[in-house]
Each structure stands twice: as C-alpha cells, then as structure tokens.
A and B are shown apart, each in its own frame.
Chain A
Amino acid sequence: KNEVEQSPQNLTAQEGEFITINCSYSVGISALHWLQQHPGGGIVSLFMLSSGKKKHGRLIATINIQEKHSSLHITASHPRDSAVYICAVIEDSNYQLIWGAGTKLIIKP
C-alpha cells in the first residue's frame, strides 16, 4: 500500500464546476505540499501546509492532521486549470518527501 494516496486518479469536469482532489497519507508528517504540473511538464509549487487552510486565488488547500488527509479545491474551474496535481508529504521521521501519484484534471469548456 502506498504511503500517500491521491484520489481520484483522473477527473474530468465542465468549466465552472467546483473541484476537489484528495490526498491521504499513512505516515507522520511535518508538512504537505501541493504542486501543479501542466501538460508541457513544468512544475509549480502551489501550497505548503502544516495545519488548517490556505487560499490563493481560486485555489484552496486544507489539511486535517488528525485524519491524515488534505484536500485541494478549485472554485469556478477553468480549462487552464487542466493539469496534474501532485501531493507530497514531508515524513517527520527523516524529513524526506513521499510523493503521491498525481491526479490528472481536465476541465472542458
């Protein structure tokens, strides 16, 4: 079983829909990263969270440390949000990154 699980693996939605991508992990962590990878391959760091909630524009990330779960939400989704979204946790025993497999999001106009 993977230590970091993302769901869904693939998500297709219509423009304007509210999107939720989930990340569950089984290890103790010091923080969690959400990253975005566009079809061209470039990777952008979106958030780093160790508790609570962060918001940037239409993106919201939440984390529940007790439940070992984080969500990434996109409000008023747009075709330019189409990308792979990757969750990575910093394991608190050795501070190494453990990566999720990514969620491929397609937003149709």
Chain B
Amino acid sequence: DVKVTQSSRYLVKRTGEKVFLECVQDMDHENMFWYRQDPGLGLRLIYFSYDVKMKEKGDIPEGYSVSREKKERFSLILESASTNQTSMYLCASSHFPGWGGYTFGSGTRLTVV
C-alpha cells in the first residue's frame, strides 16, 4: 500500500525550540508539499519541492524552512517555534507535474506552549 508517513501524530514543543516535522513517501514521487490547517482559514500551502534540494515558497512560508536532501523525505523546520505555529500540519506528495493526483499523510498536530 503506497504511503505518505508523517513521523508524529501529536507533538508538543516549547516556545523557542527548533522543531522538525518529517514526511516520508515510498512512491518515488517528485513533488512534496507541506500545508497547515487552521480554523476558519482551511489548508494553506507553506512550502513545496519539485526535486531533491529544490524548494519553492508557498502562500505562508514565514517562520518556516524546509529540507529535501533525499527524494523520499521532506522536512519542515520551525527554527524557533512560536505559539502562533500551533496548528495541524499536512504533508502530501505527487508525481511531477501533479495532474495524476496526490497522496496525503495523516497529519501532525503541533502544539507550541
């Protein structure tokens, strides 16, 4: 069964900590995406990547960075976590260019205290 796996289902971190959210896919997909979901705002794109070592800013990249050192892994990094980054984070992947459909992780609920 093809999969996008997010390393943590729930995560609690302290303000100022460096936080890594990991996403791994086993489908040899070129594209990988990070979204966050907030009440009343829905799902918004943070960053995406079309290939190893490539990254593109989405709609709300401020406060985040990403790393894609290997094709199967796309990491979202919060350099210094803040309470306004408390949210649900969703990873997704697709073959390039993306018309054929996406595969989704199950989400990581991050709480920053």
By a beta-carbon cutoff of 8 Å, the part of chain A in contact with chain B is 30-31, 33, 35, 37, 41-45, 48, 86, 88, 90, 92, 95-97, 99-102
- State whether the Cβ of B15 lies closer than 8 Å to any Cβ in chain A: no
> How many A-B pairs fall under 8 Å by CB?
52
Interface residues of B in 43-72 (CB under 8 A from A): 43, 45
Q: A44 to chain B: which residues have CB within 8 Å? A: 106
Report the nearest B residue to A92, measured CB to CB.
Answer: B99
Dominant secondary structure at the A interface? strand
Knowing A90-B99, A96-B98, A97-B102 touch, does A41 contact B107 (C-beta < 8 A)?
yes
Given A31-B99, A42-B9, A96 contacting B104 (CB threshold 8 A): no
Size bracket of the B interface:
20 to 34
Smallest beta-carbon distance B88→chain A, Å: 6
A15 nearest CB across to chain B (Å):
26
Residues of A within 8 A of B90 (CB): 43
Distance in angstroms from A77 CB to nearest chain B CB is 23
* Contact among A31, A41, A42, A86 with B43 in the assembled complex (CB-CB below 8 Å): A86
**Given A31-B101, A33-B101, A90-B98, do A100 and B106 touch, yes or no (CB 8 Å)?**
no
